[in-house]
Amino acid sequence: MKIILSGIQPSGALHLGNYFGAMQSAIDLQSQGQALYFIADYHALTSVTKADDLRRYTFDVAAGFLACGLDPARTILFRQSDVPQVHELAWLLSVVTPMGLLERAHSYKDKIAQGAETSHGLFAYPVLMAADILLYNSDLVPVGKDQKQHLEIARDIAQKFNDRFGPVFKLPEPVIREATAIVPGVDGRKMSKSYGNTLELFGEDKALEKRIMGIPTDSTPVADPKPVEGSILAQLMKTVATPAQYESYTARMQAGGVGYGDLKKELAAVIKAFLAPFKEKYQALKEHPEKVEAILADGANRARALAAPVLQKARRATGLSL
């Protein structure tokens, strides 16, 4: 059985972009092999600076995945920090990782360009990510096109380790997530916590409605047809609606006679209906956090059992163990 590995950072409230960009495909893949999904709380420390925030975001990611359809009986869900072997492996990998490889990492350069504080953690992020991937003998790693370099770096590091110490690690293959479209935020840019333009999966309905009603639109009169091309409203509707709902919505936009206020209200109603079953399950988990904690503890035990022989093989190869 193939091992599928993916991780998500607990760096803020989950939003529609997270669901369609990563969560949906991860949940779909759980039937195609042994899936391991980890909450990357060590990685989140490069951006989350308050302990209470990290705890809350970590719970939200775990409960969010479970509410959206992840099956803990088939899938290993765990906190990255509950498998300490990942840091020993990260050190073993770091001794074969060229500085130039890390300096070329897009994520590091992008964050520095955005004004992020430089730190060893941010610079060495790809090494810890390689350890995450290699520690479980992963076969497949779902990534977006913009994240493919992360896996390429992990493969390069694994190959350098194998060249020096012998054939310890398998080289995992990417599963490129082909999203139907980039989910736009309320300002038209890609939905992202860093832009502050998100629609939260589990937020209050009134807050969601307020965000949608504040989406910028042009000054087309009520009676006139509304442009569909480039419309944030149409893009969001296409993301969450059925094909029939989307066709009806855009047909009314093009026919005219309906104002943007009414179109926003309809969009809000469709998004709320789409999220309603997820919210119901999330709320039930929020009322019983011990259930989430038990699932994470069980996942950590299962993940450590997979990690132990891989790390021991690496230790023997380097001479740390007999």
Active-site option among 193, 226, 238, 264:
193
Nearest to 36 by CA among 8, 67, 57: 8
3-state secondary structure of 125: helix
- The pLDDT of residue 239 is above 70: yes
β-bridge mates for residue 75, sequence order: 35
Q: Say what the alpha-carbon torsion angle 322, 317, 310, 147 is, to the nearest 10 degrees.
A: 160
Question: Does any domain span residue 198?
Answer: no
Least confident of 52-66, 130-144, 170-184, 273-287: 170-184
pLDDT of the residue at 285: 98
Q: Spell 53-90 as b/e; 16+ CB within 10 A means b.
A: ebeebbbbbbbbbbbbebebeebbbbbbbbbebbebbb
- Pairwise CA distance, residues 226 & 258, whole Å: 9
Q: Catalytic site residue 111?
A: yes
Give the pLDDT band of residue 143 (cuts 50, 70, 90). confident
**Number of independent structural domains in the chain:** 2
CATH number, residue 149? 3.40.50.620
What is the average pLDDT value for the chain, to the nearest integer? Answer: 94
Residue 192 is assigned to a structural domain of this protein: no
The answer to the question of residue 38 being in a domain is yes
* Catalytic residue status for 193: yes
How far apart CA 89 and CA 131 sit, in angstroms, is 6
* Separation between Cα atoms, residue 16 and residue 12, nearest integer Å: 13
Among the options 148, 160, 170, 190, which is catalytic?
190
Name the catalytic one among 111, 226, 238, 264: 111
Q: Which residue has the higher pLDDT, 171 or 181?
A: 171
Annotated active-site residue 190? The verdict is yes
Residue 96 confidence (pLDDT)? 98
* Rounded Cα–Cα distance for residues 88 and 98 (Å): 18
Q: Is 189 a member of any domain?
A: no
At residue 140, φ and ψ (nearest 5 deg) are -130, 140
Q: Is residue 52 part of a domain?
A: yes
Give the pLDDT confidence of 27-43 residue by residue, as tens digits.
Answer: 999 999 999 999 999 99
More confident residue, 212 or 26: 212
Measured CA to CA, the distance from residue 289 to residue 12 in angstroms comes to 18
Residue 210 sits in a domain whose CATH number is 1.10.240.10
Asked if 261 and 169 sit in the same domain, the reply is no
Residue 145 within any structural domain of the chain? yes
